Amino acid sequence: MDAGIEQFAPWLALWDLIPEGEPLLMPHTGSRLLPVRRGDTAAMLKLAASEDERRGGQIMAWWDGEGAAPVLARRDEALLMLRAAGRTLTDVVLGGDDRAATATACEVLAALHRPRPDPPQTRPLAHLFSALLESGEARLDGARSTARHLLEGQAELRLLHGDMHHGNVLDFGPRGWLAIDPWGVAGERAYDYANLFRNPRVEDICPERFGARLAQISALANLEPARLQSWAYAHAGLSAAWDIQDGALMEAERSFALISLLEGRA
C-alpha cells in the first residue's frame, strides 16, 4: 500500500472503501482527506488531527445531512462523508454571480441553524474571539470594543458552524449546496454570517459590494443591518488578530483594509 494511504488503512478495511485519489493535507488544521468509494457512493474519508476537528465531525453527524454534507460513518478520529461534485461558492463568486452565492450561503445557514434536539457540547463563541480580546494592537481597539459589547449581549443563540466562508459550501449535485468543516461554537446566529463579508477574497470587498451583501443578508436572514455590520466589524478584527498571531502580516493588512471600510460606514 502507498505510504501516503497507509494511515487510512484501518478505516478502508473497516468500511470497505476503495481509494480514488491521493491523500490531501488540510493546511490550517493538519487533518487528512482521502477520496474513496464505498460501493456506488463517492465519499471523502477525513482523519481529524485535533479535538476541535473531531467535534466538527460530531456536529456534522448531528446535522444529519440538513444543510451539511451527509455523514456515512464516524468513529474516533475518522469521518466518512458524501463527496461533493466539485464546485464551491468561491467559484460562483469568481464567476461573477455574487448575489447567487450570498443567497445560497444564507439558505445553508438557515438549515444549519434550525433548532434540533440534543445539540453536542461545544465551546462558547467568546472562546473563538480570544486572539482579538487579548491583542494589544492599537488599530484593533474599535473592533475589540465592539466584540466585547456583542459577546456580552448575545441573542438568538444557536450551535454555529463557526467558519462559514465560501470555500466551505460545496455543490453536492442533486442534494444541492451543503456545508463542510464546522468549527462548532455556541453563540449568536448573526456571527455565522459575518465571515461572508470578507470572503472569498477580502481585497475584492469594496463599499458597494459590502453594502449590497449587507442588504441582501439582512433581508434573507431576518437580521438587523446595524448589528450584522457590527459582527462583520468584530470578525474583521478577529481575522486581523489571527493574522498577526500567525505572522501573516500581508493578510493582516487586507483585514485592516476591511476594518477601515467598516469604520468609515459607522
Q: How far apart are CA 33 and CA 135, in angstroms?
A: 33
Instruction: Measure CA 206 to chain center.
Output: 22
Catalytic residue among 98, 163, 192, 243: 163
Q: How far apart are CA 46 and CA 54, in angstroms?
A: 10
Clarify whether 163 is annotated catalytic.
Answer: yes
Cell 456515512 belongs to which residue? 72
Within 8 A by CB and 6+ apart from 138, the residues are none
Q: Amino acid identity of 220?
A: L
Q: Within the chain, where are the H helices?
A: 9-14, 51-63, 89-94, 98-113, 125-128, 130-133, 141-152, 191-194, 207-221, 225-246, 249-265
Cβ atoms 169, 179 nearer than 8 A: yes
Residues labelled as active-site residues? 163
